[in-house]
Amino acid sequence: MKRIRIDEKYCMGCRLCEVHCIVQHSKTKNILKTYMEEYPKPATRILVEEKGYVTFALQCRHCEDAPCLDACMTGAMYRDKKTGAVLCNEDKCVGCWMCIMTCPFGVISRSPDKKSIASKCDLCMGEDVPVCVKNCPNEALKYEDSKD
């Protein structure tokens, strides 16, 4: 499947990926409207971690053996047969947070709105290239075929 490859060497910690991720998952997909009018703003589904000189951006790894899939008691978490991506069906998710409990990368979070559902990277379904990759100014994120 196609995965987002993260290259820590090139990450500058500018957090543009987070901004674009938030906008992509907003109601309007417009940066001004998202930041000025949407409350609460959607959560970023990519997290920039930073310590000293080291930074990198991390989002769902769409694991081959995904613990969140085993743990999901509603069947909301599923693997997209076409792309191999691990996705959350927001109509079925009830916010039991079993996925948060089992994800070893800590990349699933509670949605900030009242819906109480799990929020995670969906590889920007429908886009050719996820927006975090498209907008990374230093190619620290790449979207490429992986071996599996």
Partner 1 sequence: MKTLKTEYLITGNSSAGVACIEGIREIDKAGNITVVSDENIFNYSRPLISYLLGNRVKKKNMFFRSRNFYDENKVNLVLDNKAKKLDVKRKIVYFANSQSIKFDKLLIATGGSPIIPEIKGSQLNGVFTFTTFNDAVAIKDYIKKHTVKHAVVIGGGLIGLKAVEALVELGIKISIIELADRILSTTFDTKASGIIQNALKKTGCNIFTKNTVVEILSEDKENKAKLVTLKTREKIQADLVITAIGVRPNIQLVNNTSIVTHRGILVDETMQTNVKDIYAAGDVCEADTLLDEDKKNIPIWPNAFKQGRIAGENMAGGNAVYTGSVAMNSVELCGIPTISIGKTSLEQDKYEILEMRKKEESVYKKIVLENNHIVGCIFVGNIERAGIYTGLIMNKIDISSIKDRLLENDFGVLALPEKYRKHLVGDVGLEV
Residues near partner 1 (CB under 8 A): 3-9, 47, 49-51, 54, 56, 58, 61-64, 67, 70-75, 91-92, 94-106, 108-110, 116, 144, 146
- Nearer of residues 19 and 66 to partner 1, judged by Cβ: 66
- Nearer of residues 17 and 29 to partner 1, judged by Cβ: 17
- Nearer of residues 103 and 131 to partner 1, judged by Cβ: 103
The least distance separating partner 1 from the CB of residue 47, rounded to whole angstroms, comes to 7
The least distance separating partner 1 from the CB of residue 97, rounded to whole angstroms, comes to 4
- Nearer of residues 104 and 126 to partner 1, judged by Cβ: 104
Sort residue 97 into left (φ over 0), alpha (ψ -120 to 50) or beta: left
The H-or-E segment that residue 34 falls in is: helix 31-37
Alpha-carbon span 79 to 6, nearest angstrom:
21
Report the amino acid identity of residue 25: H
Return the residue matching tokens 């080291």. Answer: 54
The least distance separating partner 1 from the CB of residue 30, rounded to whole angstroms, comes to 28
- Nearer of residues 19 and 140 to partner 1, judged by Cβ: 140
The least distance separating partner 1 from the CB of residue 28, rounded to whole angstroms, comes to 26
Residue-by-residue DSSP string for 85-134: -EEE-TTT-----HHHHH-TT---EE-SSTT--EE---TTTTSSS-HHHH
Instruction: Specify whether the CB–CB gap between 11 and 57 falls below 8 A.
Output: yes
The least distance separating partner 1 from the CB of residue 86, rounded to whole angstroms, comes to 11
